[in-house]
Amino acid sequence: MAGQVQALRRRIRTVKSTKKIAKAQELVATSRIAKAQERVKASRPYSEAIAKVLSALASNASVDNPLLVARERVQRAGVLLITSDRGLAGAYNANAIRTSEQLISRLKSEGKEVALYVVGRKGVGYYKFRNREVAASWTGFSERPTFEDAKRIGDALIEAFAAGSETDGSFGPENIAGVDELHIVSTEFKSLMTQSANARPLAPVQVEAQEDGDKSELRPAYEFEPDADELLDALLPKYLNTRLYTALLDSAASESASRRRAMKSASDNADDLLKRYTREMNSARQAAITQEISEIVGGANALAAAGSDV
């Protein structure tokens, strides 16, 4: 009985320690969510503005930029998957990887070879464990990405797309092979309780040209210097890098929200375990005390009976 009490005490100490870790992680994730939401909100005006500028440029330029032209035959498709560097984030990574696997299956069913690019240690570890080849990976910034991180990824992917699948071997600073189209799998932050993983095309870029009859107030404000073709060539890489940066920020906010939810659940479960183990320990102590009292009373009765016999 005493051994059972000691075992329950050890379990209670372990659960209390785990609860402290989960609570600390929950508080850290909560503080990061607010910062991540602010960064997502701050990035939107620029993203919307550059998209409108590209739309205006497409109306005045000859659309023959390599980033805009779809390949007649797609042999190899690139898939960029954004995951986290750390665990304890609930189903965040599992949902992103599942969406990526569904996209890869669809691309392969269309007869396309797939080149996989991964952001985050969890995604890299998933494919490394399964001996799946990863063309390139980037880690160490999933919770607090910067535009430089997005630019580094974007420049490598743009170079791969510009080279096309006809290139043999590997090239470039990231040592990756060429592709004919690009897709991105990231997690969209909708609310503290809802984050959804989704797949979207990244290149060739889909830019909607404005019609001549478009009465948008913004269109007359643009005067192109130098010409529209040159500006389009300069802005398209910036636009892709901006889309990547927005996806990284959205994923970072989703990661923190998912980790906060998972850690709150872990903390609540720890409270339930503490209540259960405390009740079991009290019952065991009570049973031990009752047994000791019974033994004392039994011993006293035995001594009294022995004395009366003498």
Q: Are 108 and 114 in contact (CB under 8 A)?
A: yes
Q: Are 124 and 139 in contact (CB under 8 A)?
A: yes
Output phi, psi for 160, to 5 deg: -65, -40
Q: What is residue 184's predicted lDDT score, i.e. its pLDDT?
A: 95
d(CA 252, CA 38): 12
Radius of gyration of the chain, Cα coordinates, nearest whole angstrom:
30
Q: What is residue 249's predicted lDDT score, i.e. its pLDDT?
A: 92
Q: What is residue 296's predicted lDDT score, i.e. its pLDDT?
A: 81
Residues of the chain with pLDDT under 50: 171-173, 210, 212-220
Distances (CA, A) of 293 to 1, 10, 279, 305: 14, 26, 21, 18
- pTM listed for this prediction: 0.79
Residue 248: partners with Cβ closer than 8 Å, 6 or more residues away:
82, 119, 141, 142, 145, 149, 150, 186
For 44-96, the DSSP string reads HHHHHHHHHHHHHHHHHS----TTTSPPSS--EEEEEEE--SS---TTHHHHH
Q: What is residue 106's predicted lDDT score, i.e. its pLDDT?
A: 94
